[in-house]
């Protein structure tokens, strides 16, 4: 399950992907448009900036823009940044030492295969993909 934080991050980045040129959008408007709690978004965008997903302009008429092409930001990227565990399918696939069983155990291998497939799919959807969908949102 996506956390709200990851969900909000995806929606915020999607909106920024829709901006033209090097326009910026303020966090205030971003929060309003995407129905995200303002203060939550503020904290969240700091992390996005820290990790090179967005750039910010301070002061009046400041705001945010993507720091890299929308094609270069996948759902997997965002989720792994915001909440790595939500794309891990079992504890042992995050922390090997957390499980006393064999690393080759049937359950682990089976779950790992499914996880790999999901990661592949999540990596295939980028902010450009989402932004290209005729908007209904």
Partner DNA sequence: GAATAATGATACGTATAATGTATCATATAA
Partner DNA sequence: TTATATGATACATTATACGTATCATTATTC
Site residues, a second copy (CB under 8 A):
1-2, 4, 7, 10-11, 14, 35, 75, 85-86, 88-91, 94, 100-102, 104-107, 110-111, 114, 117-118, 121-122, 125, 129-130, 133, 135-137
One of 45, 74, 80, 126 touching DNA (CB under 7 A): 45
Of 20 and 71, the one with the shorter C-beta distance to DNA is 20
42 binds DNA (CB under 7 A): yes
Q: Could you write out the three-class secondary structure of the chain?
A: CCCHHHHHHHHHHHHHHCCCCCCCECHHHHHHHHCCCHHHHHHHHHHHHHCCCEEEECCCCCEEEECCCHHHCEHHHHHHHHCHHHHCCCHHHCCHHHCCCCCCCHHHHHHHHHHHHHHHHHHHCEHHHHHHCCCCC
107 binds DNA (CB under 7 A): no
94 binds DNA (CB under 7 A): no
What is the binding site for DNA (CB under 7 A)? 3-5, 8, 26-28, 37-40, 42-43, 45-46, 49-50, 56-64, 83, 85, 91
């Amino acid at each position: 399950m996506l956390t709200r934080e990851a969900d909000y991050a995806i929606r915020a980045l999607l909106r920024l992907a829709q901006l033209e040129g090097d326009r910026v959008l303020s966090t205030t408007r971003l929060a309003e448009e995407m129905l995200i709690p303002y203060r939550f978004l503020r904290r969240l965008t700091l992390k996005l900036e820290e990790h090179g997903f967005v750039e910010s302009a301070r002061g009046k008429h400041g705001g945010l823009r993507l720091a890299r092409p929308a094609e270069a930001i996948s759902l997997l990227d965002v989720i792994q940044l915001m909440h790595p565990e939500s794309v891990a399918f079992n504890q042992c696939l995050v922390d090997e030492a957390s499980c006393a069983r064999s690393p080759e155990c049937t359950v682990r291998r089976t779950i790992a295969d499914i996880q790999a497939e999901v990661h592949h799919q999540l990596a295939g959807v980028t902010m450009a993909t989402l932004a290209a969908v005729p908007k209904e949102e």
